[in-house]
Amino acid sequence: MAMSLHSHVVEELGSRIVNGTIAPGSILLAADLEQELKVSRSVIREAVRVLAQCGLVISTKRVGIRVQDMARWNPFDSHVIRWRLASGGQGKQLRSLTELRISVEPMAAELAAQFAPEKFREELMTLSAQMNHYGRTGDLQRFLELDIKFHATLLAASGNEMFANLSIPIAETLRGRTQLGLMPERPHEEALAWHQAVADAVSNRDPVAARANMDNIMRRTHSEICGIWQGQERLFIDPPAVH
């Protein structure tokens, strides 16, 4: 029950902040939140800790819980991504993540073809075969799970630990596109073939083909959904201070 209450408070406050119901600069008081949400101080305290890790709030003694501007949010946090996808900012969120994927995943495929241990090569071949099967049978939920695992495995197979840790935001993006109805009813045959080609190229240690086919996947993804963010302003934030 305690965990359920904690999760409820995190979701309630996080979604309100991200969708703008609670404006940046607002001061929240723990006592007020206890009364409104009908939970204990310890539940509020733990929820605030999670929101602070997301960059949404900062607690200040004798002041309260200050809501942070969007520029201070952690854009890679799975909570933040999910809340943004469910809000009016879904177009900007999809644009940012899609551009990130276009930049990173082709390079990850190239590195995987060069350096991946055999277990990763075999796993990619297995996953691509399963994606072909479930994609053609129309089992979109199973296909989604396999698609998430395929891209996570590819990132890990690059041997770059920073790439590997992008698997969580990418998984949230794939889930979000599905939940928002932004995926085709059935995966395109061309996309299935490109996933297979990536796995084949990694298995055959062909970095040029691996990169080219992953770039094809990412470029098609971009073309399918870029209309969602058409005309929306880009977010420019000051670079963090370097010490």
- Per-residue pLDDT 10s for the chain (243 aa) are 445 888 999 999 999 999 999 999 999 999 999 999 999 999 999 999 999 999 999 998 888 999 999 989 999 999 999 999 999 889 999 999 999 999 999 999 999 999 999 999 999 999 999 999 999 998 989 999 999 999 999 999 999 999 999 999 999 889 988 887 777 778 889 999 999 999 999 999 999 999 999 999 999 999 989 999 999 999 888 887 777
CA proximity to 110, closest of 31, 210, 180, 18: 210
Count Cα neighbours of 147 within 13 Å in the Cβ-side half-sphere. Answer: 24
| Strand pairing category for 27-28 and 64-67 | antiparallel
Q: Name the pTM for this structure.
A: 0.89
| Strand pairing category for 57-60 and 64-67 | antiparallel
**CA–CA distance, 224 with 64 (Å, rounded to integer):** 44
Cite the residue boundaries of each domain of the chain with CATH code 1.10.10.10: 2-72
Residue type, 103: S
Main-chain phi, psi angles of 65, to 5 degrees: -105, 110
Tokens of 242: 């370097």
Q: Which pLDDT score is estimated for 46?
A: 94
Cite the residue boundaries of each domain of the chain with CATH code 1.20.120.530: 90-229
For residue 227, give the DSSP letter: G
Question: CATH number of 90-229: 1.20.1260.10, 1.20.120.530, 1.20.1430.10, 3.90.1140.10?
Answer: 1.20.120.530
For residue range 159-194, what is the model confidence (pLDDT) as tens digits?
999 999 999 999 988 998 888 777 777 888 999 999
Count Cα neighbours of 15 within 13 Å in the Cβ-side half-sphere. Answer: 10
Do 10 and 77 form a contact (C-beta atoms < 8 A)? no
Looking at the domain that runs over 2-72, which CATH code has it been given? 1.10.10.10
Q: Which pLDDT score is estimated for 3?
A: 56
**CA–CA distance, 34 with 78 (Å, rounded to integer):** 25
